Structure 1
Amino acid sequence: MNIPCDIKLVVVDLDDTLLDSKGKISKATRTVMRQVSSKGIIVILATGRMTPCVEPFVDDLGIDCPVVVYNGAMVRDMRSAGRKILFHKTLESRFSDIVIDYCIKNNLCLNFYLDDIVYSQKNPDLKKFQRLYSKRTGARYVLVDDLMVFSGKRPTKLIIITDIQHRDVFRTRDYQFEYFSQLFDGQVQLFRTDPEYLEIQHRNTDKGIGVHIYAEKCKIKRNQIIAFGNGENDIAMLKYAGIGVAVKNASEIVKKHADIIAQWSNNEDCVARILKQYIL
């Protein structure tokens, strides 16, 4: 496939796309991303992570990137623009209250994101899930005695963290996905991201909407955008971009929505190779 020569916006997912399996940006990828930025092309990092967990990668790249965070529920401008919030759509409390009550009653680990802080219940049974999430993302929890203190509040998003496998299927992510899919019946956005995570947010939020918000601000057309991703939460932005690239390690459902299925994985500098081949 031919890529237009007037690409003005490069959008890149973080985990398992830009980052290798150790959660790092390689030297080769860092170099290419800086070269792309030096040509006046805007680079956006688009991720399910919260803002504070993206900033270290902005530092590592050495590029003033706008960010699409929380799977598109929030869009922030460049640092030079004060990281101004350009878009923020929160989950209605009538849904979050149901999830809070459910997780407390069933002793499930719930992340509640409010004002760029992640809260969770103080409970010895949940520590292993909180440690897993912190190790993977660098997030620092604020633990509370009772998540019911957030009743009536609108979070940016929620994540239920479960076991990947369990003798009781109820305690798995895919069971929870089916349960909440039926319960909410399209009234919220559900994403299965990491094998342990079920992410719940406003029905009108995704990475595609987030990219659209920033592209409109800069008057950039869809055919001037290239996006890279690997997971289900990347599908909307791959479809929105003029060129959607699925890395080799992307799930099969993601590959069905991509314009290009790369021959390289996130451990083989896929993003850098594609950009170097078609843009630099």
Structure 2
Amino acid sequence: MITIPKKLIALDLDGTTLNNEAKLSSRTQAVIHQAVKAGYLVSIVTGRPNRLSENLYDQLALKTPMINFNGNLGILPHKNWPREYQYTIDKEIVMELLVNRQKLGLNLIAVEGRDLFLANRGISNGFGFFPSVLRANQILSQKSLTANPISITVQLESHEQKTELLTYMKRNFGDQIDVSPWGGPHPIVEIATKGVHKATGLKFLADYYGILQKDIIAFGDEANDASMMSFAGIGVAMKNAIDSIKKSANDITDYTNDQDGVARYLETHLDLAVAN
């Protein structure tokens, strides 16, 4: 009997495992289920908060830890887990942004943690990530924010103001935080603990399971996936990935995220028998 070597498969969600409707296709679910059944370890490593990924974790019927906020939170969903970790930001940085909101042109300030979501306002186009109407206990203020958040997300009034914000954050808090503009058409910037990336979470998973880097396969499509794809033995870029990710990847899928690219790749390279 041939023993399958233990491997860890790290999955980014948006633009990678999810289709263009931000959903898991039936084929993707079937392949992931089969990979787990065959003895592979599958973990979600995403920029999403846990509030927007636990449902997907459940659809995939995973039992492994999940990494959220680009490596800043590691949890075992639905459980109190002694190994859980989180990196947080001093809440005083949020207070500074609230005070200087108009000067910096900040339309939205949202702060999050494992069990925390507060924002200064609802947003009509929430991009699937933010509510349009806030409950009373979700309104961000100096009084309501009592704990340090894991992530700060801000939407600016225009793209032109991003440079000013980046300069301001670097000058005042550069030794504490990293600032990452989102890709796409919206002027959104994410703020998190300095030096923490998806590779932080992937190394945590590898150490937890005793898996060598050469036995890790990581899938991604955007700049925030670069660190974990570099850490993994095999970094696989999606066909729809940005150019810089494709150039640095060990391999590229033959199909996009909207064509079950991850599922098709795993079927072929792990020789999974999945009924269509």
- Aligned AA (1:42): L
Higher mean displacement: 95-104 or 67-76: 95-104
User: How do 1:166-245 and structure 2 match up within 5 A?
Assistant: 166=158, 169-170=160-161, 173=162, 176-177=165-166, 179-181=168-170, 183-185=172-174, 187-195=176-184, 196=186, 197-245=188-236
SS at match of 1:127: coil
Count of equivalent residues: 264
- CA distances 1:110-133 after superposition (whole Å, capped 9, x unpaired): 1111442221014xxx532xx414
> Could you tell me which residue of structure 2 aligns to residue 156 of structure 1?
150
Unpaired runs of 5+ residues, structure 1, are: none
Q: CA deviation at 1:10?
A: 0.5
Contact 1:90 1:156 (8 Å CA) reproduced: yes
Distance 1:250 1:35 in 2: 25
- Aligned AA (1:154): N
Distance 1:38 1:139 in 2: 40
Mapped pair 1:10 → 2:1: no
> Could you tell me which residue of structure 2 aligns to residue 249 of structure 1?
240
Contact 1:7 1:223 (8 Å CA) reproduced: no
SS at match of 1:113: strand
Distance 1:115 1:228 in 2: 24
Higher mean displacement: 113-122 or 223-232: 113-122
Distance 1:8 1:201 in 2: 29
Unpaired runs of 5+ residues, structure 2, are: 272-276
- Aligned AA (2:95): D
Higher helix share: 1
Distance 2:60 2:133 in 1: 22
Report the TM-score, using the length of structure 1 for normalisation. Answer: 0.82
SS at match of 1:154: coil
Q: CA deviation at 1:37?
A: 0.6
Distance 1:94 1:137 in 2: 22
Contact 2:54 2:77 (8 Å CA) reproduced: no
The alignment yields a C-alpha RMSD, in angstroms, of: 2.7
Distance 1:139 1:148 in 2: 21
Report the TM-score, using the length of structure 2 for normalisation. Answer: 0.84
Q: 1:53 to 1:268 in 2, by over 3 A?
A: same
User: How do 1:1-280 and structure 2 match up within 5 A?
Assistant: 6=5, 8-77=7-76, 79=78, 82=80, 86-103=84-101, 105=103, 106-122=105-121, 127-128=123-124, 131-133=125-127, 135-136=128-129, 141-142=134-135, 147-149=141-143, 153-162=147-156, 166=158, 169-170=160-161, 173=162, 176-177=165-166, 179-181=168-170, 183-185=172-174, 187-195=176-184, 196=186, 197-280=188-271
Q: 1:206 to 1:150 in 2, by over 3 A?
A: farther
- Aligned AA (2:123): K
Contact 1:49 1:137 (8 Å CA) reproduced: no
Higher mean displacement: 147-156 or 87-96: 147-156
> Could you tell me which residue of structure 1 aligns to residue 274 of structure 2?
none
Q: 1:102 to 1:138 in 2, by over 3 A?
A: closer
Distance 1:140 1:208 in 2: 34
